[in-house]
Amino acid sequence: MKKEDLRIVFMGTPEFAVETLRALVDNGYNVVAVVTQPDKPVGRHGSVVQPSAVKQYAQEKGLPVLQPEKMKDPDFVEMLRGYRANLQVVVAFRMLPEVVWNMPEYGTFNVHAALLPQYRGAAPINWAIINGETRTGVTTFFLDKDIDTGRVIMQLPFDIADDYNVEDVYDGLMRLGADICLRTLERIVGSDGHPASIPQEQMAGDTGVLHAAPKIFKDTCRICWNRPQKAVYDFIRGLSPVPGAWTMLLPPSGKATVLKIYSASKTGMACSENIGTVVVDQKQMYVATADGMLRIDELQLAGKKRMRATDFINGLNEAGVYMVE
């Protein structure tokens, strides 16, 4: 098989997927169509319609774009079949029905932002950081009936530094995802469309306890201060900058307010204060956790702009003990 024999349909939506689509185009692969989410209403009244990052790039390159509301829609399925693709590549997209993933001759492979079988699900980057992992990576695997369970083609690792947040890991895996996609395509071409792959069941014994990566909701993002300092620190960076970890700020008097925390720093400071007590010392802001003081570096009060904690301290207009919960 030659590289030119592949007719690829690419499926993806966010910026993370654009990097891989760009790699396909720049390396001369024949992308016959792109499938992405329908345009999303944005703005205060939803009066502005925003196309996905993948759609914007595809249109710049003159690639046909399909935006089905439902992946099982017969008209969409027939239109997709009309492109006669023999391979589909999926990056950061929705779950596909069998009529779609099983359509091309060489199957459909996904680029997943974790080292499967660890962190199956919608938010693998967030949960890897929240759980304090020091390594993650990207995996290519063939889609099957269950989410993120198909046969693994290959993996590439990525080290998570202790001060990395979601943005840092996202950017690293975005580039690594494009790299592994190209390497996977080389294996597919070199094997006449049938590269070696490993069932995830055979890999599970080497990975220890399996961690899931479910979708993140608002309630997921609330900080529990009654945990060790390191766990709270990882939780904050695992949700920064989006969607952002939050807590309730309780002033000495008045109404409790939502406070988002975007960055913090571990300290060696012990504490005798009650958990959740806010301590201001020499223009620095600390919160008592289960085993020490965590310094708060960047935050956002409801209705206000994101700011450094020092600026927040300068704006405090009420003396007394503040708490978070």
Residue 120 carries which DSSP code? B
Q: Are 115 and 137 in contact (CB under 8 A)?
A: yes
Burial 81-108 (b: 16+ CB within 10 A, else e): eebebbbbbbbbbeebeeebbebbebbb
Mutual orientation of helices 15-26 and 166-190 as an angle, nearest 10°?
A: 30
User: Which CATH number is 177's domain given?
Assistant: 3.40.50.12230
Same domain, 228 and 201: no
Same domain, 10 and 125: yes
Mutual orientation of helices 53-60 and 15-26 as an angle, nearest 10°?
A: 20
Distance CA 280, CA 301 (A): 17
Same domain, 47 and 182: yes
Closest among 110, 132, 108, 112 to 123, alpha carbons compared? 112
Same domain, 129 and 57: yes
Same domain, 155 and 277: no
pLDDT tens per residue across span 71-99:
999 999 999 999 999 999 999 999 999 99
pLDDT at position 316: 81
Same domain, 318 and 288: yes
User: Which CATH number is 235's domain given?
Assistant: 3.10.25.10
pLDDT tens per residue across span 125-182:
999 999 999 999 999 999 999 899 999 999 999 999 999 999 999 999 999 999 999 9
Dihedral angle at the C-alpha atoms of 279, 285, 287, 292, nearest 10 degrees? -90
- Evaluate whether residue 49 is within a structural domain: yes
pLDDT tens per residue across span 101-112:
999 999 999 999
pLDDT at position 205: 64
Its domain, for residue 174, covers: 3-206
pLDDT at position 206: 67
Q: Which two tokens stand for residue 8?
A: 């690829």
Same domain, 284 and 154: no
pLDDT at position 161: 98
Same domain, 224 and 280: yes
Same domain, 164 and 256: no
Residue 241: cis peptide before it, omega within 30 degrees of 0:
yes
Same domain, 160 and 224: no
Q: Tell me how crowded residue 43 is: count the other CB atoms within 10 A of its CB.
A: 9
- Evaluate whether residue 213 is within a structural domain: no
Whether the predicted pLDDT of 203 surpasses 90: no
Name the domain count of the chain.
2
Same domain, 202 and 225: no
